């Protein structure tokens, strides 16, 4: 008597689509070859063509095209000083009240002199005169807060055991002078406000920031041009030109 023997036949099995190899290969089956860019790898491994000292990056930056530009964090710091200083009255050094009163009187007199000098210019096209005067005020405030930030930055970075260097003392004097000038211009704007024929004469935050960015951009470009080491780039360019020259000579031979 024949026995019932269970025989496994693969043909009897149902095969799901997940077990069947597709006839075509779609994009999801590809694995990116991270080593498949030898030219790019070689380029990335070469040293930078332009070398800059470390201190350049403390104050400035390079954009995506490796062009010098301002450091945003420093602009933010300068604008913090602007927020703290705008609208504050002028302060005088020392504790002599009589001397301070005389300096305040001189300051008020000079503000009035500025206003008196503006009045003849406001008789024709006062709006243009007003806009130009506001631009001068804006640029002066931008210069003031930038110098104040740089003074604080350099003072904190100096050795407290050493005397202040001459250049830092000179920056201190300039900081006070610009602070006086900025407040004098603002006071003159307040006095001449109704004569400008403008709806808005107060300092605009964004315009002050723009002036600061322009100032730092100029300094970034100037410092870049004076400290950049292009020797590697020059060597690369010269080598390239030499190769092109020798090839052209070979072709003519």
> Which of 52-66, 89-103, 130-144, 214-228 is predicted most confidently?
130-144
Helices H / strands E in the chain, number of each: 8, 2
Distances (CA, A) of 173 to 107, 117, 121, 176, 192: 17, 27, 32, 5, 29
Beta strand residue intervals within 37-93, DSSP E: 60-62, 68-70
As beta bridge partners, residue 121 has: none
Domain parsing of the chain, residue ranges = 68-222
Task: Provide the 8-state DSSP code for 119.
Answer: G
| pTM to 2 decimal places | 0.69
Instruction: Write out pLDDT tens, residues 23-40.
Output: 555 555 545 555 555 555
Which two tokens mark 182?
């900025």
């Amino acid at each position: 008597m024949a026995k019932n023997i269970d025989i496994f036949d693969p043909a009897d099995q149902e095969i799901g689509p997940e077990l069947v190899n597709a006839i075509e290969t779609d994009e999801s089956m590809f694995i990116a070859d991270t080593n498949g860019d030898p030219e790019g790898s070689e380029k990335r491994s070469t040293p930078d063509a332009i070398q800059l000292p470390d201190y350049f990056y403390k104050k400035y930056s390079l954009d995506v095209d490796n062009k010098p530009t301002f450091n945003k964090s420093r602009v933010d710091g300068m604008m913090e000083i602007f927020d703290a200083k705008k609208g504050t009255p002028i302060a005088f050094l020392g504790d002599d009240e009589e001397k301070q009163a005389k300096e305040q009187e001189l300051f008020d007199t000079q503000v009035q002199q500025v206003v008196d000098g503006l009045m003849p210019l406001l008789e024709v096209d006062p709006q243009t005169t007003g806009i130009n005067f506001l631009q001068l005020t804006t640029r002066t405030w931008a210069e003031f807060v930038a110098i104040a930030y740089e003074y604080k930055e350099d003072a904190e970075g100096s050795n407290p055991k050493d005397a202040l260097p001459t250049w830092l003392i000179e920056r201190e004097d300039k900081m006070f002078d610009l602070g006086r000038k900025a407040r004098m211009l603002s006071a003159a704007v307040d006095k001449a406000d109704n004569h400008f024929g403008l709806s808005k004469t107060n300092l605009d935050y964004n315009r002050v920031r723009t002036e600061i960015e322009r100032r730092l951009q100029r300094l970034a470009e100037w410092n870049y041009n004076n400290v950049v080491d292009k020797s590697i780039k020059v060597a690369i360019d010269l080598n390239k030109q030499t190769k092109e020259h020798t090839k052209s000579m070979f072709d003519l031979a």
